[in-house]
Amino acid sequence: MLEHLFQPIRIGKFEVKNRVKYAACSVSNFNNLDGTVSERELARMKVVAKTGCGIITNQGAFPDSKKEGKGYFRQLGLYDDKFIPGLKKVADLIHAEGAIAIQQILHAGRYGGIDTGYAIQPSDVPQRLRHYKPVKEMSKEDIHRVVEDHAEAARRAIEAGFDGVEITAFQGYILANFLSPFTNKRTDEYGGEIENRCRFMVETIEAIRDRIGGDKLLSVRLNGTELLDEVGGSTEEECIEYMKIAEKAGADIISIVVGWHESSRGALGRDLPTTQWLYLAENAKKHLKVPVVFGPRFGDPRLADKAIKDGIIDMWEICRPALADPEILHKAKEGRFEDIKPCLGGLMCLSTMFHNLPYICTVNPRLGHEVEPEYEIRPAVRKKRIAVIGGGVAGLECAMVAARRGHDVVLFEKEDRLGGQLVPASKEVGGGHVFLDLIRYYETQLRKLGVEIKLNTEVDARLIAKGGFDVAVIATGAEVDKVTFNVPTYTAVEVLKDEVETGKNVVVVSGERAALVAAEYLATKGKRVTVIEEGRRVGSDVIPTFRWRHKLWLKEFNISVLTESKINKVENGIAYVETPEGIVEVNVDSIVIGGPRKSVNYLWKALEFVVDEKYLIGDAVMPRNTAYAIHEGYKLGVRI
């Protein structure tokens, strides 16, 4: 029983029904190109409003007509009164569910100017990431204009019916640019000592407070740590000072965030423990009187409840766990923790957003498609008997969704357990265990839905024909060709399932994800590992927001990497490797084949005249990542 998470809290004049604040969880890129609210966004916000959160923060809107603050392709605008009617619809949706509505104002600063071709910030500090725009140093006139832009945007948000606003003094956006000594090299009254670097934030808070009045809420999102030590960013002690100054200037809520987009250390991925950053909130709570709201990597309602009980935080700020499962709060309140679909922490949402695409969620195919009836799980018009062949993630998702629609589903798996590629993937250093959490979720749902599961079962045409099936879903995944050499040779899957024991000197063939996970796993066991990849880089099948993590692990574990290379021959414990620089000799007593993966889809032809309907999904179509597998399983499940 969660005794604290669902207790009310009073902030200013507002009685908040529980201790959960829905974060302005990334910019969705669902909106119209002119910055107005789209039907797609309204459909998403209707789902968000029903999450049960006591405070709901609408995604960040840029406040300036010059669009210097616009950081995302389809970001909401708030620089003109024409945006008020659309935002009023959002506020009304939130209020209809009994929540407090806050509109975030997001001027991207250093990360902005997506339409202008340049970005503004306090000083001329060059970009560290190539995809951001060249920077332009702000004049004092620019500073005063941006402060006024924030104030006017806040006024419009209140006129649209919001109960308050939130400003983004975190993660490399405009206010954070002034706070951090990394990007603020000014010598006037807006730079130098902490008080001067905070001046822009203070003036913004005061201008907003003057425009919206004292009875509306003002939340300030601030970094608990910037993770920019190597370039002279703010210390954690300085971050506490920023919070204290924001509180003194008039903030009602302090929301704590971690990292900048260009931080060299990750802040949100599954490689970090879910309580990794909780100490930042604990430190802040000792210095602040206003409510401290915290959320980064904090995905378990039970942990949030305990943190509130222990006085470490006042509210839980939820983001990606509610993208993965919008029902998370309702399930937690009912004690149905086993029914919560876990966020995998792979940050696919950020990968697509940073590529100017609508964000998606690996485990929630419905995200962004709420307005489309073909994505709804509706009762089947005709009950069918369905054979799902393959217990990997594509088959699991399809079986679950089809069963929810009322179909009679039998799931076949040739191994002795469900999960497919998720099982070896769970050996990923850091947070690979989350893949086992997802398998347990599917197992629970299939059991509750009455899906018949047949393990250790190799499927052929005769079995399907005898089973009286109307539909066969082929989700048989992918495998690697096990090439043999003059030393013991294994597959990455065999290694990650602990089915074999390699020697001390291991060569891993391929830089695909499975190969990298195997290489890193072996390195943690004390093996000397060399990765050989024929392409120009490793991790080509890893999403961008996690590829960099594997590169750091390769360095951390002293794994040698040879790209544009291949094994010529193996003799007497030496692998002779062809590289662009010539033949390189590598000591080897075991070889692990990690790729390339090839689809297993021979059943497609075998079942051609066996069932009325047959479908191919997941890696059986083409080897790809978990998101494709889940989304294809879902989309087929809702339409069979």
CATH number of the domain to which 459 belongs: 3.40.50.720
Same-domain check for residues 572 and 630: no
pLDDT, the chain, mean = 95
Least confident of 64-73, 372-381, 436-445, 537-546: 537-546
Tokens read off for 536: 């120009």
**Residues 74 and 208 both lie in one domain:** yes
Residues 158 and 95 in one domain: yes
Helices (H), 542-611: 544-556, 603-606
Which DSSP letter does residue 622 get?
S
Q: Which of 349-363, 368-382, 558-572 has the lowest mean pLDDT?
A: 349-363
Alpha carbons 265 and 4: distance in angstroms, whole number: 33
The answer as to whether 373 is a domain residue is no
Residue 2 lies in a domain: no
Task: Render pLDDT for 436-469 as a digit per residue (tens, 0 to 9).
Answer: 999 999 999 999 999 999 999 999 999 999 999 9
Asked if residue 543 has pLDDT above 90, the reply is: no
Tell whether 215 and 317 lie within a shared domain.
yes
- pLDDT, one tens digit per residue, over 373-429 is 999 999 999 999 999 999 999 999 999 999 999 999 999 999 999 999 999 999 999
**Domain containing residue 52: CATH number:** 3.20.20.70
576-614 residue pLDDT tens:
999 999 999 999 999 999 999 999 999 999 999 999 999
- 350 pLDDT exceeds 80? no
Residues 292, 402: one domain?
A: no
Residue 499's domain is classified under what CATH number?
3.50.50.60
- pTM of the entire predicted model: 0.95
Same domain for 55 and 78, yes or no, is yes
- The Cα 475–Cα 603 span in angstroms is 10
- Domain assignment present for residue 364? The answer is no
Structure tokens at 379: 């009762």
Task: Identify whether 442 is part of a domain.
Answer: yes
Same domain, 147 and 66: yes
In this structure, the answer to whether residues 263 and 295 fall within a common structural domain is yes
Q: Region of 76 please: left (phi>0), alpha (psi -120 to 50) or beta.
A: beta
Nearest alpha-carbon partner for 434 in 447, 419, 446, 445: 419
182 and 320 in a common domain: yes
Express each pLDDT in 128-168 by its tens digit: 988 899 999 999 999 999 999 999 999 999 999 999 999 99
- Is 425 inside a domain boundary? yes
Same domain flag for 611 and 524:
no
559 shares its domain with 580 = yes
pLDDT number for residue 160: 98
Helix-, strand-, coil-residue percentages of the chain, each rounded to 5: 35, 20, 45
Domain span at 407 = 378-477+600-637
pLDDT, position 614: 97
- Our count of domains for the chain comes to 3
Interatomic CA distance for residues 434 and 423, integer angstroms: 10
Is 184 found in the same domain as 62?
yes
Question: What is the structure's pLDDT at 267?
Answer: 67
HSE at residue 470, side-chain half, CA atoms within 13 A, is: 10
Share of the chain above pLDDT 90, in %: 89
What is the mean pLDDT of the segment spanning 230-239?
Answer: 96
The token duo for 529 is: 């590992």
